[in-house]
Structure 1
Amino acid sequence: MTGPATSTPHAFESNPVRDLPLQHLDGFTHRWVDADGVRLHAVEGGRPSGPAVVLLAGFPQTWWAWRKVMPGLADRFRVIAIDLPGQGHSERPERSYDTHAVAAHVHTAVKALGVSTYSLVAHDIGAWVAFSLALDFESHLRRVALLDAGIPGITLPEAIPTDPDRAWKTWHFAFHMVPDLPETLLAGREREYVGWFLKMKALSPDTFDDAEVDHYAAAVAADGGLRASLAYYRDAAESARKNREALERRHMTVPILGISSSHGSVPDMAASISPWADNTTRIIVPDAGHFIPDEQPEAVAAAITDFIAVDD
């Protein structure tokens, strides 16, 4: 049975990752929920009676990736940013990081917060989870927005390109799947590793300041965070298998917005998803690399608002 959500006054007792300092955002509250045996961290605010919007971040970030977008949504929506299992201040289970297993935890967490129907907005590995969640729990979703991500079994490349101009964007997929070696090389050097992604994949290398790099690196380093981060890639084949099996039965009918950027990894998210979904639209955010919510938060907030407000 799902336990009650816990708010900020009891954060120390509820927080499963106590060595990582909490990041606070004005108008938002930290909560923890028991999602089928995995304690997940959520940050909630906005208009309590408004339509619910759930935000999921990817590697190597935490819910903090949405900090610039969340205030722009708060006047109209109930905003809930969730740390995935192994991410941020959520628990780091030992196994089951395929995206359908993770999606079930996320959906249970949302229900524990009293939300039955919601829109889902997700970036990078968060988009992996969101895609699987849409396959498994579509009847609970109003709309889904996916930002700059190849989806396992659907659009994620099977092979790493050998052209240096493209290989730097995807080389880490194979590296993360190698047993043990990444942990051996990266333990104690998480800041250098995380910093490379944040600096190289943003259009401007100044997008992330030292404090932000410190936060994300500390989250990866804390309490099994590195192992959990790698586990999403190591379970990608299982995620792909389950995605393909689900799509053999039906297409997705929930409206999907593909958000790409001028200098991101996936030139047209909507086009990449459209063979498996009946209702896709797209937007290309200018002057941004892979980390679109950090680089162009106002454009992202506006795109999400316009997309979801159609149903109001």
Structure 2
Amino acid sequence: MNSFSTLLRQAVFALGIVAALPAGAHSAAPVTSHDLSVNGVTLHYLQSGDGHGTPIILLHGYTQTSHMWLPLMAKLDGRTVIAVDLPGAGDSSIPASGYDKKTMAQDVHALAQSLGYRKVQLVGHDIGLMVAYAYAAQYPQEVQSLTLMDAFLPGVGDWQKVWLLRDKWHFNFYGDTPLKLVQGRERIYFEHFWNDFAADPNHSLSEADREYYTAQYARPGRMRAGFEYFHAFSQDAQDFAGFAKTPLTMPVQVLTGEKASGTFLIDQAKLIGTNVHGTIIKGSGHWLMSEAPGQTIPALVNFLNQHAT
């Protein structure tokens, strides 16, 4: 990428950050945009903070990117925070394989190691929570705390009875025909998740965010990569069942939507951890950061600060 293109992308990115922050929010440190190649994949990430406390790694879920974490980053004053685009999403590269969460966690871990982070706090929402768990399970001595936000853990307990059982069709929605059906209709497909998984379809992701994420995933190869997150669930279930045999001992925070995961993820977390703190976000569906930021962000900030070193 030439220098002009780089400067242009950074300028557009900066404007996007200003638009994304809620009214009255001010970040103590600027949010910068970076790329780093590890394990044969280039990971894009946002970074803020000046090195105070244990570094925090934020991992987004399906239909979203690192962009979702900007309001939280603005509240983590002074903390070193990186919000990663998962492989295949956002501005990270699109690998041919490796969408199982064990491998994705290894990629994120390699990023942390390259940045010199020997111990981190992990936060994951949706698919991101699966990657966060796989990271903590593989590198438990390097994880200060773990936060899991509304979804489920494949292979743990009675996971086939997950709260979104009625929508399990999309777990098997991958391949050439689904891609052709969705091409040019990405927003229609995503509206199913944004509306049906929310407590109130009219109080879910903002219109600006819907337009942003649709444009992000409509780029070549991005929908295929997203489908592969679900395609890998059978492998994830095998891996997670093995991980669960060794319970995690670090503090685990679980945040769930009252109208979504409810107690399901909290109960699962108690099967994989010995120090679990569960909170149900009242009145919220799956999209905690968008539906109930007033409950979700303070809960995250308090837990992360409490367990920082």
Structure 1 window deviating more from structure 2 (266-275 vs 81-90): it is: 266-275
Q: Deviations over 1:44-77 (max 9, x none)?
A: 112323321111110111111112222112x142
Q: What CA distance in whole angstroms lies between the structure 1 residues aligned with 2:110 and 2:4?
A: 20
Q: Unpaired segments of 5 or more residues in structure 1?
A: 1-5
Question: How has the CA–CA distance of structure 1 residues 34 and 199 changed in structure 2, closer, same or farther, with 3 Å as cutoff?
Answer: same
Aligned 8 A contact 2:256 2:280 in 1: yes
In structure 2, the residue matched to 1:257 is 253
Secondary structure at 1:67 match in 2: helix
Q: Deviations over 1:242-292 (max 9, x none)?
A: 1222333x2211211111122123434222211221111111111211010
What is the alpha-carbon distance in structure 1 between the residues aligned to residue 291 and residue 136 of structure 2? 26
User: 1:254–1:58: structure 2 CA closer, same or farther, 3 Å change rule?
Assistant: same
* Conservation of the 8 A alpha-carbon contact between 1:169 and 1:265: no
What is the aligned partner in structure 2 of residue 246 from structure 1? 243
TM-score (norm: length of structure 1): 0.85
> C-alpha separation between the residues in 1 aligned to 2:290 and 2:132?
19
Q: Distance in 1 between matches of 2:99 and 2:189?
A: 21
Alignment match of 2:155 (pick from 126, 135, 153) = 153
1:142–1:255 CA contact under 8 A, matched in 2: yes
**Cα distance per residue 1:130-169 (max 9 Å; x no partner):** 11111111111100000011111115743689xxxx6544
Equivalent position of 2:96 in the other structure: 94
Give the fraction of aligned pairs with identical amino acids, expressed as a percent: 28
TM-score using structure 2 length: 0.86
1:106-255 matched pairs, under 5 angstroms: 106-154=108-156, 157-158=159-160, 167-174=165-172, 176=173, 178-204=174-200, 205-248=202-245, 250-255=246-251
8 Å contact kept, 1:160–1:171 = no
**What does residue 29 of structure 1 align with?**
32
- Unaligned 5+ residue runs, structure 2? 19-29
Matched-pair contact (CA < 8 Å) for 1:35–1:108: yes
Classify the secondary structure of the residue corresponding to 1:257: strand
Deviations 1:84-117 (A, max 9, x none): 0011111111111000000000111122223221
Q: CA separation in 2, counterparts of 1:46 and 1:203?
A: 33
Runs of 4+ in 1 over 6 A off after TM superposition: none
- Indicate conservation of the 8 Å contact 1:69/1:300, yes or no: no
Paired residue secondary structure (1:72): coil
Shift of 1:213: 1.1
Aligned length: 293
Structure 2 partner of 1:3: none
Q: How does 1:34-45 map to 2 (within 5 A)?
A: 34-45=37-48
SS at match of 2:52: coil
